[in-house]
Amino acid sequence: MKVLYIVLGDLSRKDSGSGVRPNCMLKALTDRGHELYVLSGSQNLDKGALRRSEVKKAKQWVKDNNPDLCYVESSTYPILHHCDYSMLRFLKRRGIPTAYFYRDIYRIIPNVVQQKRSGIKNRLKDGMLGLLQKHTDAQLSKLDVVYFPSVRFTDYFSYRRMELLPPAGEVKVSSVGRELTNTCIYVGGVSDFYGFPLMMEAFRLLNRDGIKYRLILVCREAEYRNAYGDTEMPPWLEVHHVSGEALEPLYEKADLGLLALRYNEYSHLCIGIKLFQYVGYGLPVVSTNVFTMGSIIRENGFGLTCEDDPESYAEAVRTMLSSQEKLDEYRSAMQKSMTERHLWVHRVDKIISDLCPDREK
């Protein structure tokens, strides 16, 4: 099928969820054999002229090729450039089924994730983004499908057709039979929102009678330095500041992947991109029982969930690492769930089925 794939962002960025997901969807669309035209690029306002030029080229491709559908990968911001609104209206006039993935709603509940910024420039920026959000919502209400990561997102909107896209990842390795070393890995932020202080306290409890469990922390260097400075770290903690392929040998050293989002309105909506990276590398997961992510972990046999306190977290880690046989059971269940319903190509299949139900894949 002919697909116009619009990415409201730069595909060259691959260091976060906003970069990983669009690139994985691009590969999945290609793997399924679809003919693609990709419209992507920086969303910075000072790149407006370049964006208009790229949109103009995409419109000409649409006129020449009459694609079967259009799929849009959003950024964390509302749609910023007028030419992108024009593009969506153009597709509507031509009767091309169009879907939009709404990846994040942190701006709707900002007090949980970010503090209100001070200063007139920041207030003007927030006001502008609020206005653009209204324009975006008005445009999305005219699209064929708006996709969300989890069912709880739909409580905040009333678009005419709202669907869920299955969370996805890649199966990188099978770790069944890997020797148990009582080593865990956490990749992410170190603030309380992400639960890293809770995790540290849990590992202090686990190791209070001697070093029995080790933790590998991977985070941004500047964030770590701001949070901990020159604080002496415990001997069971190993800290790295790497990303991408440099993570692979660290995943290979670990038995478990860790997540510890604290309970709040926003975290109950979230599906961390790291969840599926852990699983893809054969690592069962221990996570706090935030609603959406906890449900996915339990339903797919990805690991254990627990309450967001150090004692419960420590007990969950201890339980998961109680035997290699137990871990292998989780590893086998994880691989089955991934290959049957949680690969990136499964997201593509749903989009094709929803937008073109009478056409073959």
Can you tell me the mean pLDDT for 98-109?
85
Sign of the alpha-carbon dihedral angle for 66, 3, 37, 159: positive
- CA–CA separation, 127 and 331 (whole Å): 47
Contact 275, 298 (CB under 8 A): no
Q: What is the pLDDT, as a whole number, of residue 111?
A: 62
pLDDT at 360 over 60: no
- CA–CA separation, 231 and 76 (whole Å): 34
pLDDT at 341 over 80: yes
Tally of residues, the chain: 361
pLDDT per residue as tens digits for the range 27-52: 999 999 999 999 999 888 888 899 99
pLDDT at 15 over 90: no
Amino acid at site 259: L
Helices 48-65 + 82-93 axis angle, to 10: 10
Sign of the alpha-carbon dihedral angle for 354, 356, 359, 361: negative
Token code pair at residue 352: 């094709």
Residue 164: name the closest of 184, 150, 178, 183 by CA.
Answer: 150
Q: What is the pLDDT, as a whole number, of residue 231?
A: 87
pLDDT at 116 over 70: no
Highest mean pLDDT among 66-70, 230-234, 326-330: 66-70
Token code pair at residue 68: 């079967």
Q: What is the pLDDT, as a whole number, of residue 250?
A: 96
Residue 316: name the closest of 333, 294, 342, 338 by CA.
Answer: 294
Token code pair at residue 157: 């909107």
Can you tell me the mean pLDDT for 214-240?
94
Contact 99, 91 (CB under 8 A): no
> What is the Cβ-side half-sphere exposure of residue 111, based on CA atoms within 13 angstroms?
2
- CA–CA separation, 35 and 255 (whole Å): 40
Q: What is the pLDDT, as a whole number, of residue 121?
A: 78
Sign of the alpha-carbon dihedral angle for 85, 135, 128, 4: negative
Can you tell me the mean pLDDT for 338-353?
96
Can you tell me the mean pLDDT for 320-342?
93
Tell me whether strands 183-187 and 214-218 are parallel, antiparallel or unpaired: parallel
Contact 279, 181 (CB under 8 A): no
> What average pLDDT does the structure give for the chain?
91
Q: Phi-psi bin for 216: left (phi > 0), alpha (psi -120 to 50), beta?
A: beta
Q: What is the pLDDT, as a whole number, of residue 361?
A: 45
Residue 263: name the closest of 287, 299, 297, 238 by CA.
Answer: 287
- CA–CA separation, 43 and 154 (whole Å): 26
pLDDT at 126 over 80: no
pLDDT per residue as tens digits for the range 257-267: 999 999 988 89
Q: How far apart, in Å, are the Cα atoms of 283 and each of 9, 33, 43, 311?
A: 30, 30, 35, 22
pLDDT at 14 over 70: no
pLDDT per residue as tens digits for the range 277-291: 999 999 999 999 999
Q: How far apart, in Å, are the Cα atoms of 305 and each of 259, 287, 358?
A: 9, 5, 40
- CA–CA separation, 211 and 204 (whole Å): 9
Q: How confident is the model at residue 112 (pLDDT cuts 50, 70, 90)?
A: low
Contact 278, 323 (CB under 8 A): no
pLDDT per residue as tens digits for the range 143-201: 999 999 988 888 888 898 999 998 999 998 877 778 899 999 999 999 999 999 999 99
pLDDT at 56 over 80: yes
Q: How far apart, in Å, are the Cα atoms of 83 and each of 49, 57, 65?
A: 10, 12, 20
